[in-house]
Amino acid sequence: MSSENNPLLQDWQTPYGLPPFDQILPEHFSPAFATAILLHLDELNTLAAQTSLPDFANTVESFANAGLLLARIQGVFENLTASETSPALEAIELTLAPQLAAHRNAVYQQDGVFIRLDALYQQRRDLGLNTEKMRLLERIHLDFVRNGAKLSGEPRLRFAAIVAELATLCTQFAQNVRSDEAEYRLVLNHENDLAGLPDSIKSSAKQAAADRGVDGYVITLSRSSVVPFLTYSSRRDLREVAHKAWKARGENAGNADNRPIAPRILALRLEQSQLLGYANFADYALSDRMAGTPQAALDLLQKVWTPALKRVLEEQADLQTLAAELGEPLDIQPWDWFYLAEQQRLARFDLDDAEIKPYFALENMIAAAFDCAHRLFGLSFKERFDVPLYHPDARLWEVSRQGAVIGLFIGDNFSRTSKQGGAWMHEFRSQSRSEGQRIVPIVINNNNFSKAPAGQATLLSFDDVRTLFHEFGHGLHGLLSDVEYRQLAGPAVARDYVELPSQLYENWAEQDEVLKKHALHIETGAAIPDALLAKIKNARFFNQGFETVRYLGSALLDLQIHLDLSSDVNDISAFEAATLKKIGLPKAVGINHRLPHFGHIFASDGYAAGYYVYMWAEVLEADAFDAFIESGNPFDPATAERLYQHIYSVGNSVDPAQSYLAFRGHTADVGPLLGKRGLN
Instruction: Supply the residues annotated as catalytic.
Output: 471
CA-based nearest residue to 552, from 341, 334, 294, 302: 302
Neighbours of 347 (CB within 10 A): 12
The span from the CA of 675 to the CA of 625, in Å, is 13
Q: What is the largest CA-CA distance in the chain?
A: 83
- Cα dihedral across residues 242, 244, 250, 251: positive or negative: negative
Identify the helix (H) or strand (E) that includes residue 355: helix 353-356
Angle between helix 261-275 and 544-563 (nearest 10): 60
Residues paired with 425 in a beta bridge: 445
The span from the CA of 408 to the CA of 75, in Å, is 14
Cα torsion at 103, 104, 106, 112 (round to 10°)?
Answer: 130
What proportions of the chain, in percent to the nearest 5, are helix, strand and coil?
A: 60, 10, 30
Angle between helix 29-48 and 68-83 (nearest 10): 150
Strand pairing class (404-414; 442-449): parallel
Neighbours of 472 (CB within 10 A): 30
DSSP 409: E
The span from the CA of 209 to the CA of 185, in Å, is 9
Angle subtended at Cα 445 by Cα 441 and Cα 446, rounded to the nearest 5 degrees:
145
From the CA atom positions of the chain, what is the Rg in Å?
Answer: 25
The span from the CA of 101 to the CA of 168, in Å, is 9
Start-to-end C-alpha separation, the chain:
63
Judge contact between 114 and 148, C-beta under 8 A: no
Neighbours of 394 (CB within 10 A): 18
Residues paired with 411 in a beta bridge: 395, 445
What length does the chain have? 680
Angular region, 254: left φ>0, alpha ψ -120 to 50, beta rest: left
Neighbours of 387 (CB within 10 A): 16
